[in-house]
Amino acid sequence: MIQALLTTARIPYLVVLALATAVFGHFAIRVPVEQSNASMNSLGEEQSAVYDAFRNRFGSDEDLVLSVTHPHLLGADGIGLVDALTERVEGIEGVRRVDSLSNAVELVPGVSGAEEQALVSRPIAGADFETHTRRAVQRNPELSGYLVSADLTTAALMIELELRPSDDEQRPRILRALRAIVDEPRAGPAELHLTGIDAQKFEVTRLLARDQSVLIPASALVLAAALALFFRRVSGVLIPLSVTGVTLVWTLGCYGASGYALNTMTSLLAPVLMVLSVSTSVHLYENWLSRPRADQDANRAIASTLRELRRPCFFTSLTTALGMLSLVVSDTPAVRLFGAFTALGVMISLGVSLTLVPVGLSFVSRPDSAPRRARGTRLEAFLQFAARSSVQHPLAILGVASLLTGLGFAGIARIQQNTDLVHFLKRDEPLFQDSMFIDRQLAGIHTLEFVLSRRDGGSLASLDAVTRLARFREALLAHPEVGGVQSVLSLLSAIQRAETNGEGWQLPRDPPALLNAFDLLEAAGDDALVRRLIDPEFRHARVRAQIHAIGSAVAAPLEDRILDEARAIFGSDYALAVTGAFHQMTRDSNRLVEKQLESFSLAFVLVILAVGAMFRSLRLMAVSVIPNVIPIVWTGGLMGYCGIELSTGTTMIAAVVLGLAVDDTIHYLTRFRRERSQGVRAAVWATTTGTGRALVISSSVLVIGFWVGALGSFKPTIYFSLLTGTTMISALLCDLLVLPASLVLWDPARREGTA
Amino acid sequence: MRVARAAIVALIVAIASSAAWAAPPAAELLDRSKDQIRERAPITSRGRTHGEVRLIERGSVRVVQTLLYSQVLGRVLGKIRERERENWPADREGHEASSRYVAALDRAERAIPPAQDPDRNRGATGERRRSLLIEFAVSNSREGVALLEPELKEFEGALTIEGARLIEALELPHDFIQRNMRLIAEEHFAIPRDELARMLAPPIATQGAEARPEGASGGKP
């Protein structure tokens, strides 16, 4: 069959391959890009129901914030700009409402009690305009931190979007329009900034798309350069790259044909697969080059290579695929898709490598071995050093490895779990600067949403509920991370102030006054501001806590503390649920990390079982654990000492690397077994100096390929790339030093001799 | 003697006319058994309904009935007071009548019991709304304004008046009543002015009994 493939069937094979690639290519180029980031959500049914109910009652919580900073913000120039921007933003399709100083309404004492009045008088002009506006703003302390900064130099336009779950283009379109407004040249001293959860998600999607357009060509170039450097032959570059290209097209074609859109995670499919798919072809090519020169028949050499490597290549691909497949236990659809399709890609790559590489090799002639030997001097010197060390000083090697592993465990204890979309961005990214500016000036860029209700389903329009809510507000504001709180209390305070002609923050103190205030709220009917804070039946009240820029590491315990305090304040008669996009993101990222630990455990078991199945030896299975766990511990330690957080990006490293690192172990042990008959030390020597070369080449290609990701603009991508590459180097060192040292030390013959 | 007799007649007429609503002869103005609602329009603000305005034929009596049913009754009455001030400024004839009417509204508001649901636990019967019925009525023989506390029944979203307790009846000038009826109707119904005038005018009297008692109105006939 191999002979047929290399002779009569090779042209038909290439034609079929080209046709199939064209078909898959048709689907691959039509893969849409997901804009909503919905596939990153991993809410359970209960949490989803709470969030859906919240949004149905109170609208979207993912407000965008457009800030305007002006030296005379409250003067006619500043408010005029705020007014013009408010009108423009309201005109953008898909925007539900915009709250700003220019359209805000205050409550003032009237003939029959509290009456509405525009906060800003019209026309926006006149000598006293600034004085009047300043007084109006100061009369309404609820606005501070929300619509205007404490120093009265920055105003916020709070932009609420319509809920259009089926319109993927809505948010990108609005964000593009807003970004254009922010970026347009403007006369005068005004400064505009834009942020919000949606803006962050949009920016992440944009950066990933940009990274793809940079990283894929860069990966291809680097892979080509690395292959050229190691093999110094055109075929040595073209054949592995062809395998990579076909694998990419087929995998993305399958992805597209399955109806999925590229999301934050699966946008990494292409660069990751480019690296993974080159490994088998490198091993095949290197083996073909290394075959004894006596074997003059070209096709026989190819067939020998295939026969020798198909089993280890199958298992190395299988273990890599299993590592990836372990990601399917994740709650996050995007991670599941990434794991499943990367695993599929790895197996496609195996199939293509085992056919296209032999067919490709059948068209080229084998070179003389002399020049390769000359080129390989330094590498071979290193391999000989490694072989000598592991044979002569196995205890020392294991001692050093153990020491480093101990240090690694100590470093792992320092790792902090944190996902922070804003701090994932580089400091020079506009969104990072915008977000941090708005965070400093206003009450915070994130919001934690709480929904208060009575357990008996009764109304919250009682003095008891309002008193407890006021205590909860105070408790929230006592946390330094909380910059401001909006709730129905803000409305009640404004009503009470206007009803009593009072000043500052005050709440109705007796039941008649409170009930009158709620009567007025009810009479406000479908007023959007009222409806955003309490439902028409007064059974569910929203408490919106504005949070400064923090990541999930701070947000998760903060949520826990707040909920503990809430339990003490509200007692058993009330229920307080926490929800919202920020809570969801915090919960998702923490859950993702927890699930990744599960993924890693699964990957570990599957990979080790696969190794056991390959060698059918408990001893080799046990030995294979050592060089694969140690690099991961070292990388974990490195992360801990360098302060690199466990986030949505870095958490996948362990599962991905385990599947890759074991490849070298399998190749090593396969050769070791073949050489075993001449004794363990001789076998180690022959394996390290023989197979070691292919391991160094394939690992180096993988490392360089992963390191290309350092050109990314997103910190998790950079960390993932650098750390995965670094772990691959550690894994290679372990396979060339720790694994042979273990084999030497645990050689049954040696133990018998010692005894 | 003649003077004394004339004085007694005048006193009787005056007493009779001043008691036009409270005494049995005014019963026709309040007799809702003959009510035929010709037009009705809700009183709304910000999507909330605070009552209803109705044009009613009550036999030969024409009534503009304002049924207020609101949790912010004080605010709604405040709006009515505001409207009265605008429509009947101090220099306009009828201002005094308007002031009497507004004062009566204040008394009526105080006479209406407070909301029955202090905990605001809404349910099938829970209620914070208070109600007031204001009727401007005119017939060929007499006219008046009545303020009542209605007993309401809600059925399929529509309110029906099951009964009403009279809080106060006012005898006010014919012109004031007629103009207020027209202004209220114009504000709530998109009906051509001529047709509205026809609807608000009582049918032409056919018998002497329907004739307006002399001096019963302070305004024009």
Q: What is the DSSP string of A46-113?
A: HHHHHHHHHHHHH--S--EEEEEE-TTTTSHHHHHHHHHHHHHHHTSTTEEEEE-TTT-EEEEEETTE
Confirm whether B27 is domain-assigned: yes
Residue of A nearest to B123 (CA): A458
- Confidence band of A533 (pLDDT split at 50, 70, 90): very high
Is there a domain that residue B221 lies in?
no
pTM: 0.77
DSSP sequence for A411-448: HHTT--B---HHHHB-TTSHHHHHHHHHHHHSS-SEEE
Residue-level pLDDT at A655: 72
Residue among B46, B72, B121 whose CB faces A519 most closely: B72
Over residues A94-98, the mean pLDDT reads 92
The distance of A476 to chain B (nearest Cα, Å) reads: 27
Dihedral sign, Cα of residue B159, residue B163, residue B165, residue B169: positive
- DSSP assignment of A573-632 equals GEEEEEESHHHHHHHHHHHHHHHHHHHHHHHHHHHHHHHHHHH--HHHHHHHHHHHHHHH
Contact A451, A542 (CB under 8 A): yes
Token output for A457: 């389903």
Q: Do B45 and A523 touch (CB under 8 A)?
A: yes
> Contacts of residue A525 in chain B, CB cutoff 8 Å?
45-48
Does B75 contact A518 at a Cβ distance shorter than 8 Å? Answer: no
Q: A2-37+202-365+379-420+587-754 — its CATH code?
A: 1.20.1640.10
Give the pLDDT of residue B119: 53
B120 touches chain A (CB under 8 A): yes
Of A436-450, A596-610, B198-212, the least confident:
B198-212
What's the mean per-residue pLDDT of chain A?
88
Predicted confidence band of residue A295 (pLDDT cuts 50, 70, 90): low
Whole-Å CA distances, A471 to A197, A497, A542: 28, 19, 15
Give the nearest chain A residue to B80 (CA atoms): A112
Q: According to the 3-state scheme, what is the secondary structure of B167-206?
A: EEEECCCHHHHHHHHHHHHHHHCCCCHHHHHHHHCCCCCC
For chain B, what's the residue count? 221
**Any CB–CB contact under 8 A between B186 and chain A?**
no
Closest Cα partner for A243 from A358, A85, A148, A410?
A358
User: Once rounded to an integer, what is the mean pLDDT over residues A74-99?
Assistant: 94
Q: At what angle do helices A333-361 and A581-615 cross, to 10 degrees?
A: 40
- Chain A contact for B79 (CB, 8 A cutoff): yes
Structural domain spans, chain A: 2-37+202-365+379-420+587-754, 63-195, 434-549
- Substitution target in B121, B127, B129, B130 with the highest count of A β-carbons within 10 Å is B121
- Which residues contact residue A630 at a Cβ distance below 8 angstroms, ignoring those fewer than 6 apart? A401, A404, A405, A408, A730, A734, A738
pLDDT at A755 over 50: no
Residues of A at the B interface (Cβ-Cβ below 8 Å)?
A: 111-113, 458-459, 461-462, 511, 515, 518-520, 522-527, 537-538
What is the span of the domain harbouring residue B192? 2-210
| Residue type at A579 in one-letter notation | T
Interval A228-239 mean pLDDT: 90
Chain B, nearest residue to A111 by Cα? B78
Average of per-residue pLDDT across A407-430: 87
Give the least confident one: A40-49, A273-282, A602-611.
A40-49
Beta-carbon separation of B74 and A112 below 8 A: yes
Domain-embedded: residue B219? no
Instruction: Examine residue B218 and state whether it is found in any structural domain, yes or no.
Output: no
Q: Is B221 on the interface with A (CB under 8 A)?
A: no
A435 closest CA partner among A180, A714, A195: A195
* A500/chain B closest Cα distance in angstroms: 15
Q: Which of A216, A207, A205, A206 is nearest to A263 (CA)?
A: A205
Cβ–Cβ gap A522/B128 under 8 Å: yes
Whether the CB of B106 is below 8 Å from some CB of chain A: the reply is no
Q: Is the ipTM of this complex over 0.90?
A: no
B216 assigned to some structural domain: no
Two structure tokens written together for A238: 């073209």
CB contact under 8 A, A523 and B48: yes
Tokens 């803006």 locate to A199
- Taking the Cβ of residue B72 and every Cβ of chain A, the question of whether any pair is shorter than 8 Å is answered with yes
Test A511 with B118 for CB contact under 8 angstroms. yes
Closest CA to B182 of B81, B82, B61, B55: B55
Chain B residues within an 8 Å CB radius of A461: 119-120
Asked if residue B204 belongs to a domain, the reply is yes
Residues from chain A that touch B71, judged by Cβ atoms under 8 A, are 519, 522-523
Is B48 in Cβ contact with A522 (below 8 Å)?
yes
Q: Which of A596, A592, A532 is nearest to A556 (CA)?
A: A592
For residue B77, list chain A residues with Cβ-Cβ distance below 8 A. Answer: 112
Give the β-pairing of A154-161 and A95-99: antiparallel
B107 part of contact set with chain A, CB < 8 Å? no
User: What is chain A's Cα-based Rg?
Assistant: 32
Per-residue CA distances from A198 to A96, A282, A446 (Å): 15, 43, 11
Query: B114: number of CA atoms within 13 Å, CB side?
Result: 10
- SS3 for A364? coil
The Cα of A115 is separated from the nearest Cα of chain B by a number of Å equal to: 10
**Share of residues in chain A with pLDDT > 70 (%):** 95
Query: Does A751 score more than 60 pLDDT?
Result: no
Taking only the tens place, the pLDDT of each residue in A329-360 is: 888 888 889 999 999 999 999 999 999 999 99
Q: What is the mean pLDDT of residues A600-624?
A: 85
**For the purposes of burial, counting CB atoms within 10 Å of the CB of A168, is it exposed (0-12), middle (13-18) or buried (19 or more)?**
middle
Distance from CA of B79 to the nearest CA of A (A): 8
B46 and A459: CB-CB below 8 Å?
no
Q: Do B120 and A518 touch (CB under 8 A)?
A: yes
Instruction: Name which of B43, B46, B50, B72 to mutate to probe chain A: the one with the most chain A Cβ atoms within 10 A of its Cβ.
Output: B72
Q: Residue A296 — pLDDT band, cuts 50, 70, 90?
A: low
Q: Mean pLDDT, consecutive 10-residue segments, chain B of 221 residues? A: 50 44 61 90 85 93 94 90 94 95 95 67 56 94 93 80 92 94 95 92 62 37 27
Pairing of strands A574-579, A446-454: antiparallel
Residues of B whose CB is below 8 A from A112 = 74-75, 77-79, 81-82
Minimal CA separation from B70 to chain A, in Å: 8
Which of A115, A515, A531 has the most B C-beta neighbours within 10 Å, making it the best mutation to test the interface with B? A515
Half-sphere exposure of A26 (CA within 13 A, CB side): 6
Which has the closest alpha carbon to A24: A353, A359, A358, A345?
Answer: A345
A33, A205 contact by CB (below 8 A):
yes
Q: How many CB atoms lie within 10 A of CB B160?
A: 10
Smallest Cβ distance to A112: which of B70, B75, B115? B75
What 8-state DSSP symbol labels residue B162? Answer: E
Condensed to tens digits (0 to 9), the pLDDT of residues A13-56 reads 999 999 999 999 999 988 887 766 677 766 567 778 888 899 99
A268-A270-A276-A281 Cα dihedral, nearest 10 degrees: -170
Q: Measured between beta carbons, which residues in chain B are less than 8 angstroms from residue A113?
A: 74-75, 78
How far away is chain B from the Cα of A110, in angstroms, using its nearest Cα?
A: 10
Helix (H) / strand (E) element for A752: namely: helix A748-754
Helical ranges in A291-332 per DSSP H: 298-325
In this prediction, residue A750 carries a pLDDT of 58
Query: Are A459 and B119 inside 8 Å of each other by CB?
Result: yes
Give the closest-approach CA distance of B55 to chain A in angstroms: 25
**E strand or H helix at B132:** strand B130-138
Min distance B9 CA to chain A CA atoms (Å): 46
pLDDT reported for residue B16: 42
Considering all CA atoms of chain B, what is the largest pairwise distance in Å, rounded to the nearest integer? 69
Query: What average pLDDT does this structure show over A73-99?
Result: 94
Secondary structure of A631-651 in HEC code, one letter for each residue: HHHHHHHHHHHHCCCECCCHH
Q: Do B115 and A111 touch (CB under 8 A)?
A: no
pLDDT in tens, A167-225: 778 888 999 999 999 998 887 889 999 998 888 878 877 887 788 788 888 888 988 99
Give me A233's structure tokens: 């032959």
| Chain A hits for B78, Cβ within 8 Å | 111-113
Tokens of A659: 């599947």
Give me the mean pLDDT over the A296-313 stretch. 85
State the Cα–Cα distance between residues A203 and A434, nearest whole angstrom. 12
The span from the CA of A726 to the CA of A734, in Å, is 12
Residue of B nearest to A520 (CA): B72
Residues in chain B with CB shorter than 8 Å from the CB of A527 are 46
CB pairs under 8 A between A and B: 58
In the predicted model, is pLDDT for residue A371 greater than 50?
no
Contact (CB<8Å) A522/B121: no
Domain count across chain B: 1
pLDDT at A79: 96
Helix (H) or strand (E) holding A256: helix A234-257
Query: Higher pLDDT residue, A33 or A143?
Result: A143
In Å, how far is B185's CA from the nearest CA of chain A? Answer: 23
Do the Cβ atoms of B120 and A511 come within 8 Å? no
CB contact under 8 A, B45 and A525: yes
More confident residue, A22 or A457: A22
What does the alpha-carbon distance between residue A737 and residue A391 come to, in Å, rounded to a whole number?
Answer: 9
Is B215 part of any domain? no
Q: Would you say residue A67 has pLDDT above 80?
A: yes
Convert A96-130 into a string of H (helix), E (strand) and C (coil).
Answer: EEEECCCCCEEEEEECCEEEEEECCCCCCCCCCHH
Within 10 A of A153 (CB to CB), how many other CB atoms are there? 17
Residue B220 lies in a domain: no
Put simply, whether B58 touches A (Cβ < 8 Å) is no
Residues 16-55 (B) with a CB less than 8 A from some CB of A: 45-48, 50
| Chain B residues closer than 8 Å to A111 by CB | 78, 81-82
d(Cα A175, Cα A198) in Å, to the nearest integer? 8
The tokens for A234 are 């055109």
